[in-house]
A and B are shown apart, each in its own frame.
Chain A
Amino acid sequence: DTEVTQTPKHLVMGMTNKKSLKCEQHMGHRAMYWYKQKAKKPPELMFVYSYEKLSINESVPSRFSPECPNSSLLNLHLHALQPEDSALYLCASSDPGYNQPQHFGDGTRLSIL
């Protein structure tokens, strides 16, 4: 079982909806990440939080809004998404120092109608 828990596992939403993806870890990690993965492709980094502060935004469209309420939680708020945003959204966590392995959750499968 993964130590990074993501909810929901599946989400279907219309282009005008607002929804949120949630991620929780209890490994004491102080760095958390959001990735997007399309079918048969590698994960692509979206955001990095370090000590609850946004440290990297990979030029992600503003319809994706991350939030890190505390050291264990990471949210991704979604609004006015496009069909091409349909993908698997993965959360990961790690110790914040250099060269630390990232541990992934099983993702949220998002479908935009």
Chain B
Amino acid sequence: GESVGLHLPTLSVQEGDNSIINCAYSNSASDYFIWYKQESGKGPQFIIDIRSNMDKRQGQRVTVLLNKTVKHLSLQIAATQPGDSAVYFCAETFTGGGNKLTFGTGTQLKVEL
């Protein structure tokens, strides 16, 4: 399944499928990006980050892709599990920005059994 951020704030996928969560950013000066997972009643949890000198970065079951040309970021989750159900936020910042993070609007991921 795939979301398009603002226009599809909820993404429903079947357990075991791959998920793709998208994020568009507006600041062309942004050079550091983070994906966070926020479960109900909890704070945002760091998942993976990527710097602008990279196009792709992989973690455990997650991959982040960065396309600076179109200012687009995506998070791919392989073999989605029920525990992946949460709201996912992308966040951006730029060198010299005082560590000020700007968050995207978020995507609710629902995993169906």
Contacts and interface: CB of A to CB of B under 8 A. Distances in A.
A45 interface: yes
Nearest to B45: A104
B44 A104 contact: yes
Interface stretch (A11-19, A48-56, A64-72, A75-83): A48-56
Nearest to A55: B98
Interface in B79-113: 89, 93, 95-96, 98-101, 103-106
Interface in A77-112: 90, 92, 94, 96, 98-107
A98 B32 contact: yes
B41 interface: yes
Contacts of A55: 98
A98 B99 CA distance: 7
A31 interface: yes
Nearest to B101: A102
A95 B104 CA distance: 22
A8 interface: no
A56 B44 contact: no
Contact of A99 (B43, B45, B89, B93): B93
A94 B34 CA distance: 13
Contact of B98 (A44, A48, A99, A105): A48
Contacts of A6: 43
B42 A106 contact: yes
Interface string B47-66: 00101000000000000000
A106 B99 contact: no
B50 to A, nearest CB: 10
17 contacts: A2-B42, A2-B43, A42-B105, A43-B89, A43-B103, A45-B101, A48-B100, A50-B98, A90-B44, A94-B99, A98-B32, A99-B31, A101-B46, A102-B46, A102-B101, A106-B42, A107-B43
Interface of B: 31-32, 34, 36, 41-46, 49, 51, 89, 93, 95-96, 98-101, 103-106
